[in-house]
Amino acid sequence: MKILLIEDNTDLASGIEKYLSDEGYHCELSQTVEQALEKIQLYEYDCILLDISLPDGSGFVILEKLKQLGKQDGVIIISAKISLDDKLKGLSIGADDYLTKPFHLAELSMRIRALIRRRKFNGNNIIQQGGIHIDLAEKIVQYNGKTVEQLSPKEFELLILFISSPHRVLSKGSIAEHLAGDNADTFDNFDFVYAHVKNLKKKLKNAGCPGYIHTIYGMGYKFKVEGL
């Protein structure tokens, strides 16, 4: 899988590149609009991570060029701008997703997976991992053919987050933000993350699924499938 990362901050770019490389992606880096325009005309990418504020112009130019060229590359905007207008503008010009800085790498990875799944597999709605079979459209989870008890929407999202970042430590903070967004701070601690993880684990276990979700002391959780 090829990813083009258009980001002018080298520290941020290298951090993202390292994480994504570990996930098995091939990352290419552009730091300016000019470089990026050259690359998108020459190559095809499965996903383009696009920063909007670049030293030589706005990332929107690249989005427009992609549209003009009739390219089908998926685009996720990563921007420091929180403004709703920017988000709507980006999505209307053809971006697939919008992530505001600072984001968790696990969140980014999950969004990339979801994007590629939608684009590459023509909206294939099935995710499989370690015997777990998830039908995204029907919201049905099975383990080795056995249907898991109906998950709540939050538990369902949690499971997808875990499966999207196997063998990665997911901090309670990143899970909380993923589940509750801006309202993650309604609780002073992450008890609700704990509650959701506990329920999810229980439901999976009842369907005979082994304990894939591990607690990492002081940090959070890790989804680990043997032999992967």
Partner 1 sequence: MKLFHKTLQIYLTFSIVVFIISIPLFYFLVEKLWIEDVDDSLFFHKEKIIAGISTSGIDSLAIDNFTRVALDFDLGISVFPLNENAAEKDSVYYNKFYDETRTHIEPFRELKSVVNVDGRSYEILIRKDLVESADLIRGIAITQSILFFVLLAGLILLNNYFAKKTWRPFYHLVSRLNTFRIDKEQPIEPEKSNINEFNDLGNSVSELTKNNIRRYKAQKEFTENAAHETQTPLAVIRTQTDLFAQDKNLTKEQARIVEKMDKNITYLNKLNRNLLLLAKIDNDQFSLNEKTDVFLVLQETIDIFSEQIGLKGIQLKQNLNHHPVILSNSYLMQLLFTNLIKNAVKYNVHGGFVEIELNAGFFKIVNSGDEQPLPANAIFKRFYKQGTSETSSGLGLAIASRICELLQLKIEYNFEKPNRHCFKIILK
Is residue 33 a contact partner of residue 9, using CB atoms and an 8 Å limit?
no
156 contacts partner 1 (rule: CB under 8 A): no
Dist CA 124 CA 138 (whole Å): 12
Site for partner 1 (CB under 8 A): how many residues? 45
Q: Would you give the binding string for partner 1 spanning residues 164-203, x where CB under 8 A is met? A: ----xx-xxxx--x--x-xxxxxxx--xx--x--------
Give the residue, chosen from 70, 217, 226, 227, that forms a contact with partner 1 under the rule CB under 8 A: 217
In terms of CB distance, is 43 or 187 closer to partner 1?
Answer: 187
In terms of CB distance, is 80 or 228 closer to partner 1?
Answer: 80
Give the residue, chosen from 36, 37, 62, 105, that forms a contact with partner 1 under the rule CB under 8 A: 105
Q: Judged by CB under 8 A, which stretch of 13-21, 58-66, 123-131, 140-148 contacts partner 1?
A: 13-21
- Show contacts with partner 1 in window 31-50 (CB under 8 A): none
Q: Judged by CB under 8 A, which stretch of 16-24, 28-36, 120-128, 206-214 contacts partner 1?
A: 16-24
Amino acid at 115: L
Residue 86 CA to its chain's centroid (Å): 20
Task: Name, in order, each residue with C-beta under 8 angstroms of 121's C-beta and a sequence gap of 6 or more.
Answer: none
In terms of CB distance, is 20 or 47 closer to partner 1?
Answer: 20
Site for partner 1, rule CB under 8 A: 9, 11-12, 15-16, 18-19, 22, 78, 80-84, 100-106, 154, 168-169, 171-174, 177, 180, 182-188, 191-192, 195, 216-220
